[in-house]
Structure 1
């Protein structure tokens, strides 16, 4: 878009997408990221199992075990405290970035940290999460693996000459691949990347994420196992009423998500008021976890067995109510204390419990409505409705229920965005002084062209005008800061500005010389009638020229000019189109 006098101008490429050959490079790199992230998921699960066996059964084994099978009595209170003390020490003397559930930290690294995560985080996050979950912390493995997979992608990207945006693509690819490795839900992982992490919808990022996710999914049978993580053997109810019932459950769960998020950050505020260092907060929160575990050991750990029990309808109503109440309390207190662990598994339990309770009053299997509650909770709490709807189907293998999971997810999403300004993920970022907008819109500058916003037939100066005449013009008559200079046929020669006049006044040029002669060795940025306004905005930033001439590409005649003010008008028009309301039919 820089037109050198005497040369030919290169017109900006126009197309539906901005992809280039580097997409293939990133896709190739995503193969490595997906493979390592899948192995990271396997390692995290083994570390959790190892920590669980060590803390609760006193053995060194990575075999699966259930905390509820322990018979420690009052000793059940002490183990979460011990594990939390270790996590607090790791955060204090290792890296404080391991605190929390991982997804907000990944978002913050993407938006404000040039997608750079450290090797220390990649190592400490899974280890601390394994200790936290293994010692009874009421968390899941998905947040830690998203952070760990993201760190894998980021570290690998930092080994090469890549832009911050390309690093972001590989960071998100690693995060999505890690989630796929844990849950075996490739489609939901891709949607989570789009709805929560990428902050864009472009081939450059979409294709590498898909590659990493599919590579991880291919590794999963050998590393973790094939098939859905959970099973559901429930018949799907028929008729129109299940859609209404699903939307109703979604509405209730949306309110539940809002209550959980509000309660979580109120508890976090209470911890911040404590007169002791934050290193000790997880241990204090673990006291509540231990007491909750003493009342009901099922609330300890990730709790995937609890979800399976509700899906299989093997829990009584009293058991579900007890699990819902105690799990909510211990999870909110533990997470508010700043320990390490994920939010998705607890949210699935809490949303599934509401669905299960509703299922006892609705026709059909309560296990089916448990799945509906899970979809609604993921949507309402994380503001990811498509992810929530599809995740529930992939997690259980019941894809024919997608219309109902979508109804529940949409209802929960609607309630969540109406009653909460921020999600449970972005609230933490906002408390650090950052604002995150999760709405994807097309930049109006990208689909507005120069011909639509330019000032047509702008005032120009003749190339035959002397420098002295130009000085007089800028002193007495000029309205704008710069003017196009044209020849006798209105073809662009260059642009002259007030700053040029000030420099010439100091004797830099001969006053008798013409503007054509003075500007003959100067390059001039130009636009064309079909140039996107976004290219012009970039051109203004790159060159510092505040007014860009618009020329006919064949004749080089000046047909208009675009200023900074013209670009701002584009945003104004777009804002009016969103806020001004009128009735079209019936109006004269």
Structure 2
């Protein structure tokens, strides 16, 4: 690989439009600021709406604080019936409002990014939080983060649709709104940005990252007056001391968390398949899922609702064995089965509770570190395994608890869970739903090999050329035609040189046929056509690929920028040079250091 860097390409000619080369990106940052504010307000509104419905249903009073149904000891018929009525309401909203409100929100946001250019229907900005509030407020074992991600994304999309923006800019504003909503909900700005990068942006480029960070910063600042400040689940981890044994057990904790992530993901989609086989309309499925929730609530009432107070008990080390077992069994079952019914609600809060319960149970067997230590590791592991976002799982746990000294152990646990999930499952909880909608999604980030090679390394450095005054007689014309259609290495164009060696134009098969059909005595200049595109030897292959796509070409002359003289020809097939090099790097095995005597 060459160590020289080419001059930055012009956005006007490449369409790449990165932050460093397009001042318009600063306008996107400015537009992301009000989107962040709106995302924070959406988070506040959704949490208050969930609290309002929960208070009306389980306490029969007005109030907006979140309600834990298990703590208020409602009547059995209310525990059983409220989720059914909530599911019925969600089904009606989905049938007569928008089917996009079904599910936990993030796949819908991903689909809008992948296939619709960041365009979200306006009614989703209202229907998604309403359906989620009804589902969670009536006892659904879900979180608010998925719906608020979709709602914030809808707000960002609507803002982008009202302006004259490219699809890439609309997508950026959609993701900015989604990340802002999550940051305001959990006071986790860094995890929100990482979630955007690992799950939503599908790129790591300044043009999208900077606006998202700006939006998240605004949402985080507004969270304090709207929802309060400080860690959501504070844990005192100042006395953490990581020994080799603790780090080894962190691997085990991660593997068990990954296994639990695999099982719950499998249950969600087996439940979805089972509901799809029912002989009645999907509008009724959430009500049936609500019946499952109600039955689970009769067994373990603390499994109902968002469950933030249960997560706090687990992370503080105050959870009883009965609560831990109830969460692991009942919460996992009712969450997976009801989510498969197509009701509305997020996945992060249930995953936090289930992972925390697993870690708390393991903490009864493992050496004591600090209260809640193993619950934190279980939480990060299940997040990393379910979402396949290990860095998000680690940073999210740290920001929720402010237990910064546990970072290395969290990283071990989350990465172990991620590795197991990747080995066992083809797709994650999020990408499986995308695949079922006929879309292909990859979340593996790697350097584009086209960015690593220059034109001069892949071009034909000895192309055939002709002088402008050369007579286009039979021999020369036949030679040109043979070169243009050579089966071994066809040269799609032949540069025509001026007397001083500069590029006059190019001969193609079409222009050659037209000149020969005209008859008479011709020169190469008569058969030449203007050159629509030239590239430089220090351009990257990626830039050439973009230029070829923009101009609908498959080859171009390579010129020396100092003299204007052709030094080669680059064709579409030459771009495979980088791919071939990548295949060799990844597939060819060799021993570099050989034993002595060999």
Deviation, 1:54, is 1.7
C-alpha distance after superposition, 1:7-63 (max 9, x if no partner): xxx983599975421221111111101101000000000110011112222233323
Q: 1:11 to 1:225 in 2, by over 3 A?
A: closer
Whether 1:497 and 2:508 are equivalent positions in the alignment is yes
Q: Is the 8 A contact 2:10 2:21 kept in 1?
A: no
C-alpha separation between the residues in 1 aligned to 2:305 and 2:252?
30
Is 1:585 aligned with 2:593? Answer: yes
Q: Supply the distance in 2 between the matched residues of 1:19 and 1:135 (Cα, whole angstroms).
A: 51
CA distance in 2, matches of 1:476, 1:92: 64
* Structure 2 portions without partners, runs of 5+: 1-6
Residues of 1 paired with 2:422 and 2:284: CA distance? 34
SS in 2 for 1:524: coil
Query: 2:4 aligns to what?
Result: none
Which of the residues 528, 545, 548 maps onto 1:537? 545
Q: 1:570 is matched with which residue?
A: 578
Taking a change above 3 Å as real, the CA distance of residues 477 and 148 of structure 1, as seen in their structure-2 partners, is: closer
1:37-76 mapped onto 2 (5 Å cutoff): 37-68=39-70, 69-76=72-79
Relative distance call for 1:409 and 1:475 in structure 2 (3 A) is closer
Q: Tell me whether 1:151 sits opposite 2:159 in the alignment.
A: no
The DSSP-based 3-state class of the residue aligned with 2:349 is helix
Which of the residues 455, 458, 477 maps onto 1:453? 458
SS in 1 for 2:197: helix
- 1:151 and 1:36 map into 2 onto residues whose CA distance is 11
**Residue among 181, 184, 188 paired with 2:184:** 181
- Distance in 2 of aligned mates of 1:535 and 1:314: 58
Distance 1:454 1:421, change over 3 A: same
Deviation at 1:523, TM superposition (A): 3.9
Query: Deviation digits for residues 325-365 of structure 1, max 9, x if unmatched?
Result: 00011001110000000000001111111100011112224
- Please give the alpha-carbon distance, in whole angstroms, between the structure 2 residues aligned to 1:164 and 1:556: 37
Q: Which whole-Å CA distance do the structure 2 matches of 1:13 and 1:370 have between them? A: 51
The farther-off stretch of 477-486 and 106-115 is 477-486
TM superposition shift of 1:287:
1.0
> How far did 1:554 drift?
1.4
Please state how far the C-alpha of 1:491 moved relative to its aligned partner.
Answer: 2.5
Distance in 1 separating the partners of 2:232 and 2:576: 51
- Mark the CA change 1:546 to 1:466 in structure 2 (over 3 Å): closer, same or farther: farther
Judging changes above 3 Å, is the alpha-carbon distance between structure 1 residues 467 and 404 closer, same or farther for their aligned structure 2 residues?
same
What's the counterpart of residue 556 of structure 1?
Answer: 564
1:390: Cα distance to partner? Answer: 1.0
Whether 2:521 is the aligned partner of 1:516: answer no
CA contact (8 A) 2:47 2:66 kept: no
Residue-by-residue CA offset, 1:276-328 (whole Å, 9 max, x unaligned): 11111111111111000111111111111111111222222232112210001
In structure 2, the CA distance between the partners of 1:59 and 1:280, relative to structure 1 (3 Å rule), is same
User: Which of residues 111, 118, 132 in structure 2 aligns to 1:108?
Assistant: 111
How many residues were matched structurally? 576
Provide the rounded CA distance (Å) in 1 between the counterparts of 2:387 and 2:297. Answer: 26
Residue-by-residue CA offset, 1:498-542 (whole Å, 9 max, x unaligned): 1112333554xx74343325547x243111110111121122223
Match status 1:428 vs 2:433:
yes
> Where do 5+ consecutive residues of structure 1 fail to align?
1-9
TM-score scaled by length of structure 2:
0.92
> Contact 1:49/1:134 (CA < 8 Å) preserved in 2?
yes
Q: Give how far 1:494 is off.
A: 1.2
Bigger shift: residues 91-100 or 315-324: 315-324
Of 118-127 and 230-239, the range deviating more from structure 2: 230-239
Counterpart in the other structure of 1:124: 127
The answer to whether the 8 A contact 2:19-2:26 is kept is no
Please give the TM-score of this superposition, normalised by the length of structure 1.
0.94
Indicate how the Cα distance of structure 1 residues 19 and 372 shifts in structure 2: closer, same or farther if over 3 A, else same. Answer: farther
Equivalent residue number for residue 343 of structure 2 = 339
| Preserved CA contact (<8 Å) 2:142 2:305 | yes
1:258 maps to: 262
Residues 264, 514 of structure 1: alpha-carbon distance in 2 compared, 3 angstrom cutoff: same
Q: What's 1:12 paired with?
A: 9
Indicate if the aligned counterparts of 1:355 and 1:366 stay in contact, CA closer than 8 A.
Answer: no
Matches within 5 A, 1:173-252: 173-233=176-236, 235-252=239-256
Q: CA deviation at 1:406?
A: 1.0
Counterpart in the other structure of 1:487: 498
- Counterpart secondary structure, 1:161: coil
Shift, 1:473, TM fit? 4.2
Contact 2:242 2:409 in 1 (8 A): no
Contact kept? 1:257, 1:381, Cα under 8 Å: yes
- TM-aligned CA deviation for residue 117 of structure 1: 0.9
Report the CA distance shift for 1:477/1:427 in structure 2 as closer, same or farther (over 3 A). Answer: closer
Moved more, 325-334 or 19-28: 19-28
Match of 1:358 in 2: 362
Deviation at 1:544, TM superposition (A): 3.1
Aligned to 2:327: 323
Instruction: Indicate the residue corresponding to 1:7 in structure 2.
Output: none
For residue 425 of structure 1, give the secondary structure of its aligned residue in structure 2: helix
CA distance in 1, matches of 2:195, 2:417: 16
Matched, 1:80 2:83: yes
1:398-446 alpha-carbon deviations (Å, 9 max, x no partner): 1111111111111111111111111111010011111111011121112
> Contact 2:515–2:527 (CA<8 Å) still a contact in 1?
no
1-structure distance, mates of 2:310, 2:65: 19
Q: Say if 1:466 and 1:55 are closer, same or farther in 2 by CA, change over 3 A.
A: farther
Tell me, yes or no, if the aligned pair for 1:356 and 1:366 is still in contact at 8 Å. no
